[in-house]
């Protein structure tokens, strides 16, 4: 059975279609995590300042996202499928030169 982690700053958001946890009940954990990775990653202290949240919340979001990669991947795939099904991956919703994976 997977280890249950108790987070101080992460919680579900009532009414959200996302299953992932939120920082302070308002910002998806993945949004915070994505600020700390990639081509121009920010330090956790910078992210905390940008979003006006405690640095501890940023560290919790990072830990949560690393531990729940499968959930986040599935939610991204579901979102992509909804966008494509609604035609929002094509102009005028997307740039005319946008290339869909389909």
Question: In this predicted model, what pLDDT tens digit does every residue of 35-92 receive, in sequence order?
Answer: 999 999 999 999 999 999 999 999 999 999 999 999 999 999 999 999 999 999 989 8
Beta-bridge mates of residue 3: none
Instruction: Tell me the mean pLDDT in the region 3-11.
Output: 89
Residue 1 above 50 pLDDT? no
Residue boundaries of the structural domains of the chain: 10-85
Predicted pLDDT of residue 2:
53
Query: What residues have CB less than 8 Å from 76, skipping those under 6 apart?
Result: none
Predicted pLDDT of residue 97:
86
Place of tokens 């919340």: 57
Integer Cα distance of 86 and 67 in angstroms: 31
Task: Say if CB 68 and CB 20 are below 8 A apart.
Answer: yes
Integer Cα distance of 16 and 45 in angstroms: 27
């Amino acid at each position: 059975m997977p280890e249950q982690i108790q987070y101080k700053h992460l919680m579900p958001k009532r009414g959200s279609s996302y299953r992932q946890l939120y920082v302070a009940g308002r910002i998806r954990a993945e949004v915070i995590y994505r600020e700390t990775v990639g081509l121009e990653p920010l330090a956790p202290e910078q992210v905390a300042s940008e979003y006006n949240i405690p640095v501890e919340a940023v560290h919790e979001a990072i830990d949560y996202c690393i531990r729940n990669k499968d959930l986040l991947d599935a939610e991204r795939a579901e979102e992509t499928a909804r966008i494509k099904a609604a035609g929002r991956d094509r102009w005028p919703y997307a740039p005319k030169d946008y290339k869909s994976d389909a």
